[in-house]
């Protein structure tokens, strides 16, 4: 691994510093990240939109939520490339869906609370079988509990942000029309208001994608940073990088 090409400072961190590093990645690369995110979510949005027009709103929202492991793989492909200053084409990011046990992540491992931390092991190291299990156990020590809490907190922040958006819409509604909020349930399930109901479903789908688009990159980047920090502690990346710098300095001194 070419540590000297890393855009981040390589050094041992505590768990919370690592999570903060992940958040800094999102802040630093937010423009290209959102371009990738929009390209990823466009087909998902169209699929959910079709289901809404077919009067399957709950199915659409379930699919939007259930496919998070697929989004995470594309986001991780972006972060792992950007960390080394690379800007590959769009096909590179979608390759992250291949050979990474996506089917297992969408079924048996769907409720893995340390999903963002385990994902780099599955996607970047290319291990299988017993070797993968042993590697996961090794990296999981001293970091697994933080990774699980990261998932729990991220889940609650999604709900908090969703409720905040609903509250913002409510308080931004003129008082003249505020009584319509109390009849929202009737509007959603009244067959005479199909157009209104479908419009509200599309708005909820849009805000659902917006909330996931805000929280999920932070969640994936934080899990990736925890993974990098765990490997730094285990493999002494910072010491190896220091030795490389010393060697380069000595080589320059000999040339002079």
pLDDT, residue 247, reads 53
Say if 213 falls within a structural domain.
Answer: yes
Residue 151 is predicted with a pLDDT of 93
pLDDT above 80: residue 50? yes
Q: And the tokens for 50?
A: 């079709």
In a domain, 234, yes or no: yes
Q: Tell me, what's the pLDDT at 187?
A: 52
Q: What span, in angstroms and rounded, lies between the C-alpha atoms of 120 and 126?
A: 9
User: So what's the pLDDT on residue 239?
Assistant: 55
Mean pLDDT of the chain: 80
Inside any domain, residue 50: yes
pLDDT of residue 175: 58
Residue 256: inside a domain, yes or no? Answer: no
Tell me if 1 is assigned to some domain. Answer: no
Per-residue pLDDT at 124 exceeds 50: yes
Residue 243 is predicted with a pLDDT of 44
Residues 6 or more apart from 231 whose CB is under 8 A from it? Answer: 139, 237
* pLDDT of 7 higher than 60: yes
- State residue 155's pLDDT score: 92
The reply to whether 55 falls in a domain is yes
Q: What pLDDT, on the 0 to 100 scale, is given for residue 125?
A: 81
User: How confident is residue 62, by pLDDT bands cut at 50, 70 and 90?
Assistant: very high
Q: With bands split at pLDDT 50, 70 and 90, how would you rate the model's confidence at 255?
A: very low
Per residue in 188-242, pLDDT tens? 555 555 666 777 788 888 988 999 999 999 999 999 999 988 888 777 655 555 5
DSSP state of 236: T
Distance between CA atoms of residues 162 and 160, nearest Å: 5
Say if residue 3 is exposed, middle or buried (CB neighbours under 10 Å; 0-12, 13-18, 19+).
Answer: middle
**174 located within any domain:** yes
pLDDT at 170: 67
pLDDT at 249: 46
Contact indicator for 142, 230 with CB cutoff of 8 Å = yes
pLDDT in tens, 139-193: 888 888 899 999 999 999 999 998 888 777 767 666 555 555 555 555 555 555 5
Domain count, the chain: 1
Write out the DSSP string of 194-214. HHHHHHHHHHHHHHHHHHHHH
The residue among 44 and 188 whose pLDDT is bigger is 44
Confidence class for position 4, pLDDT limits 50, 70, 90: low
- Domain of 52 in residue numbering reads as 12-102+115-242
Note whether residue 248 is domain-resident: no
């Amino acid at each position: 691994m070419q540590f000297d090409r890393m855009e981040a400072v390589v050094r041992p961190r505590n768990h919370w510093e690592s999570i903060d590093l992940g958040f800094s990645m999102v802040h630093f690369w937010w423009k290209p990240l959102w371009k990738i995110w929009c390209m990823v979510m466009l087909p998902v949005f169209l699929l959910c939109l079709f289901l809404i027009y077919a009067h399957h709103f709950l199915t659409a929202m379930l699919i939007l939520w259930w496919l998070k492991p697929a989004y995470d793989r594309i986001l991780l492909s972006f972060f792992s490339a950007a960390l080394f200053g690379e800007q590959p084409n769009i096909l590179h990011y979608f390759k992250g869906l291949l050979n990474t046990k996506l089917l297992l992540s969408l079924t048996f491992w769907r409720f893995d609370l340390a999903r963002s931390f385990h994902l780099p092991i599955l996607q970047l190291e290319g291990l299988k079988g017993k070797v993968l299990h042993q590697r996961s156990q090794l990296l999981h020590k001293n970091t697994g509990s933080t990774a699980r809490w990261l998932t729990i907190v991220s889940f609650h922040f999604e709900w908090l942000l969703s409720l905040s958006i609903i509250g913002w819409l409510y308080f931004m509604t003129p008082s003249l029309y505020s009584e319509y909020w109390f009849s929202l349930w009737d509007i959603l399930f009244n067959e005479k208001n199909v157009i209104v109901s479908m419009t509200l479903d599309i708005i909820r789908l849009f805000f659902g994608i917006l909330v996931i688009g805000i929280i999920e990159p932070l969640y994936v980047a934080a899990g990736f940073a925890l993974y990098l920090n765990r490997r730094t502690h285990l493999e002494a990346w910072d010491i190896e990088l220091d030795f490389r710098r010393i060697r380069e300095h000595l080589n320059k001194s000999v040339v002079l």
